[in-house]
Chain A
């Protein structure tokens, strides 16, 4: 305060004034609030993990580690295992990532690399982001009534003629992995496209200039310079998309077929952890089955946490000198 008074005395000769007590109060409370909310978020995450873990813990002695490696979910005999769901979760997300990732990155290149007039670019970017605004349940319905009838003839054709390939080893009788994966890939596409676009936009113009200065064609500039330069950000986009796909629930619960089967076939019904939770909890027994569901929820949480943390670590390592941009 003494400093402020001293500076206040200078006032006669200058328009500068020290901050008022009001300014200082506002500054302090604002900083306090931002800090408090940040900690609250971290606390919330810890609280969720703690509570779900707490509910799952009583089931652990009964279910044990074999819960993760067995395939039967039978509430009348109180036997529970989620191997097919773990497999289904990772397999469906991985397939969706290949599809959605490919299209997402392609779209990001198309939008950011001066292929389009600015206005079309802007419109396209927003339309793709609108895909993210479609509710999951609408995707589910669309999948059941539009997508499944649409892809069934092709799927069954592939099965008939290329059935020896494990991926086509069953018929698509309705619900199954393929419609689920297609919908899932559409759902993660906006995420991948938007974050990849940011990665491309973050590349300074001089880098592109350097590429053309070396005598690259447009495609060489994109493939040899722009893509590698943006690779850290693109990888982050893929990880986030994968994380989103792992946890996606409603559309999958509606489309995946909910069968505890371990399969490579794109056309077989399958199951994911999230779909299992959504489809099972309304009729779950209060006892062991609820515990089993909580256990499954913990497993899903763990998978997504590992994916996201690994992603964050790799992204920071994959962009050397990225901070110099």
Chain B
């Protein structure tokens, strides 16, 4: 019953966003078929900041992130109750094409997944997809520079993207995602398949990227959240009703969440009492 009341409260939420919010995700309920995966998670993503999603396994942080650019639409039985406000529209509106949402909200995945084509073609992929007519080479170089990969690959742009190392592949995927200059960049545990050195490079890169983009990142690694995230959203699993439903416990500036958590659950998690 309490959950329902909150839904009503959220309905009354105004349509226009605070100026510093790039995207406002209000996930009342997210279902996979009849399994309630996430409830009551209101996550505003602030402009030119990094928002970190943390929490134990199965808490729905990835589900919420992937709902933001409608990647979950690809999963059979997925249903999103709520709305995601972005540039004056609700991206879950019936007349919104998920394809155009994904072109405006880029995504970097857990596993590096460059296409089996040349490094250049990987980065140019989105530009060609969006029928970019300008200087392709210039844009590709710019994206690779922003992804801190240009120096390593500038002499082998014709090589296959899969011939790079894991960390380089992930930076290539970042270059591919930012080449079209999307407004928001979502990253789903982008370092989980990488070694510490590559992880460090990606983290430094993220801090650079936020000057230009709005970034949301799911991470398993709390230290990573502390290092890179400006805002932190802490999710947990609710097993009280028999299922395993994830929900947002609290959210705020990273420093406050880590140093002075408002919720007991957050405190316990940060102290390593469960994971």
Contact = CB atoms under 8 A, between A and B. Distances in A.
A320 B160 CA distance: 7
Contacts of B130: 215
Nearest to A216: B129
B44 interface: no
A216 B99 contact: yes
B213 to A, nearest CB: 15
A214 interface: yes
Contact of A321 (B102, B109, B160): B160
A14 interface: no
Contacts of B103: 214-215
Interface string B98-126: 01111110110101011111000000011
Interface in A174-226: 204, 206-207, 209-217, 220, 224-225
A85 interface: no
Question: Taking chain A's interface residues, is the majority helix, strand, or loop, or is none over half, making it mixed?
Answer: helix
Interface in A123-138: none
Q: Is the interface of B mostly helix, strand, loop or mixed?
A: helix
B12 interface: no
A206 B106 CA distance: 15
Contacts of B85: none
Interface residues of A, number: 23
A65 to B, nearest CB: 42
Contacts of B99: 215-217
A18 interface: no
B71 interface: yes
Contacts of B102: 212-215
Given A207-B116, A229-B115, A321-B163, A213 B129 contact: no
A210 B101 CA distance: 15
Interface string A313-325: 0000001111011
Contacts of B50: none
A213 B107 contact: yes
A153 interface: no
Interface residues on B, range: 20 to 34
A211 B129 CA distance: 10
Nearest to A204: B113
| Best-surrounded residue of A210, A213, A320, A321 (most CB of chain B within 10 A) | A213
A210 to B, nearest CB: 4
A225 B115 CA distance: 7
Given A207-B115, A207-B116, A225-B115, A214 B162 contact: no
Given A215-B100, A229-B116, A210 B109 contact: yes
Given A220-B129, A229-B115, A210 B74 contact: no
Q: Name, among B74, B101, B162, B163, the residue most crowded by chain A CB atoms within 10 Å (CB to CB).
A: B162
Contacts of A11: none
Contacts of A325: 162
Contacts of A225: 115
A8 interface: no
B66 to A, nearest CB: 9
Contacts of B117: 228-229
Interface string B67-94: 0010100100000000000000000000
Contact of A206 (B104, B111, B129, B177): B111
B176 to A, nearest CB: 7
A215 B128 CA distance: 12
A229 B71 CA distance: 21
Contacts of B173: 210
A207 B113 contact: yes
Q: Which of B101, B103, B125, B161 has the most CB of A within 10 A?
A: B125
Given A210-B173, A215-B100, A228 B116 contact: yes
Given A212-B74, A213-B102, A216-B129, A228 B115 contact: yes
Contacts of B69: 213
Given A206-B111, A206-B113, 12 more contacts: A213-B69, A213-B107, A215-B129, A215-B130, A220-B129, A224-B125, A224-B129, A228-B117, A229-B116, A320-B163, A322-B116, A324-B162
13 contacts: A206-B113, A209-B74, A209-B109, A210-B114, A210-B115, A210-B176, A215-B102, A215-B126, A224-B128, A224-B129, A319-B116, A320-B116, A320-B163
